Homo-oligomer: A and B are copies of this chain.
Amino acid sequence: MNTSDFEAWARQQLSDVEQALEAWVPPSAPAGLGDAMRYGVLDGGKRLRPLLVMAACQAVGGNTGAALRAAVAAELIHAYSLVHDDMPCMDNDVLRRGKPTVHVKYGQAQAMLAGDAMQALAFEVLTPEDGASVPPVLQARLCALLARAAGHAGMAGGQAIDLASIGQALDEAALRDMHRRKTGALLQASVQMGAACGGCTDMAWRALGDYGAAIGLAFQVVDDILDVTQASETLGKTAGKDQHHNKPTYVSLLGLTAARRHAEELRQQAQTALAGSGLGAAAGVLAVLADKVVEREN
């Protein structure tokens, strides 16, 4: 797939995702809660997880209406984790996507509640009551994938390791385990949710799982690199904070050159997995997304 085809595809998906977020994250939620939720998720972010869901769905010729719900749900989980992660008791960060963080703008209590409500909303979005747009069996499958990626075995578990690892020297296996959970699990689940929206051979399912695992880890390796090589203005969040918080990263463990090489290896792993998926050209968007994950500058 060439760049301009990809750009056109991504523009359309992002437009659909923004519209869905706009419609489904309720301004009507009481006592300012809706404002805080919307502030935390609308109008910002790369929307990588939604793009992965939609690309994987397209690769297997799946139900795009269901995939759009999965895309929004994945983004809600990601966004809630940032809201909580930025709070004073965690990373105590004041800048996110170039704007004051949710707790700075709405207070800590509202930020915590907004995050909590965003997690619940993810599962609301996956379980529409009509049952027509997303068959109930698929609703259950999507909830299962998302809950496991978000919970103790995935993102929340990774955050706990992250918290405990401040000032510790982790070896590469421990660092990989942390990142696979903290960031990788939800990125991989995004791919899997998209794939679950269509029929998919066992071979393709496994290949897409491997692809998701590789780009999930690559994303974090690149994050570690960007934290030391980019300015806060480019990142839209505070740069240099891993070092500031004395957190183990791929850069602190391997050095910058080896970290870049590792990101490149993971990109290759992702592409190899796609090549063995049997999906052929239908997986073209996923291939471009793997490149984007490694080449991104913020």
- Asked if A127 is at the interface of the complex by the 8 Å CB criterion, the answer is yes
Q: Known contacts A30-B181, A157-B29: does B120 contact A120 (CB below 8 Å)?
A: no
* Neighbouring B residues of A129 by C-beta, 8 Å: 144
Contact status A31-B163, CB under 8 Å: yes
Q: Known contacts A84-B112, A121-B151, A152-B29: does B157 contact A143 (CB below 8 Å)?
A: no
Q: For window 14-62 of chain A, which residues contact chain B by CB distance below 8 Å?
A: 26, 29-34, 37
What is the CB-to-nearest-CB distance from A60 to chain B, in angstroms, rounded to a whole number? 19
C-alpha spacing A147/B122, complex, angstroms: 8
Copies of this subunit: 2
- Asked if A119 is at the interface of the complex by the 8 Å CB criterion, the answer is yes
Q: For window 127-177 of chain A, which residues contact chain B by CB distance below 8 Å?
A: 127, 129, 131, 136-137, 139-141, 143-144, 146-148, 150-154, 156-161, 163-165
C-alpha spacing A161/B131, complex, angstroms: 31
- Asked if A117 is at the interface of the complex by the 8 Å CB criterion, the answer is yes
C-alpha spacing A132/B59, complex, angstroms: 30
- Asked if A89 is at the interface of the complex by the 8 Å CB criterion, the answer is yes
Q: Known contacts A123-B123, A152-B33, A163-B110: does B117 contact A115 (CB below 8 Å)?
A: no
* Neighbouring B residues of A152 by C-beta, 8 Å: 26, 29-30, 33-34, 37, 117, 120-121
C-alpha spacing A50/B140, complex, angstroms: 22
Contact status A127-B156, CB under 8 Å: no
- Asked if A108 is at the interface of the complex by the 8 Å CB criterion, the answer is yes
- Asked if A204 is at the interface of the complex by the 8 Å CB criterion, the answer is no
C-alpha spacing A163/B34, complex, angstroms: 14
C-alpha spacing A146/B156, complex, angstroms: 20
**Interface size on A (CB < 8 Å)?**
58
Contact status B110-A156, CB under 8 Å: no
- Asked if A214 is at the interface of the complex by the 8 Å CB criterion, the answer is no
- Asked if A124 is at the interface of the complex by the 8 Å CB criterion, the answer is yes
- Asked if A116 is at the interface of the complex by the 8 Å CB criterion, the answer is yes
Contact status A89-B108, CB under 8 Å: yes
C-alpha spacing A121/B143, complex, angstroms: 11
Contact status A113-B159, CB under 8 Å: yes
Contact status A112-B112, CB under 8 Å: yes
Contact status A127-B147, CB under 8 Å: yes
* Neighbouring B residues of A218 by C-beta, 8 Å: none
- Asked if A208 is at the interface of the complex by the 8 Å CB criterion, the answer is no
Which of A108, A119, A141, A152 counts the most chain B CB atoms within 10 A? A152
Q: 7 A-B contacts, Cβ less than 8 Å apart?
A: A89-B107, A90-B109, A113-B159, A113-B160, A117-B160, A121-B152, A127-B147
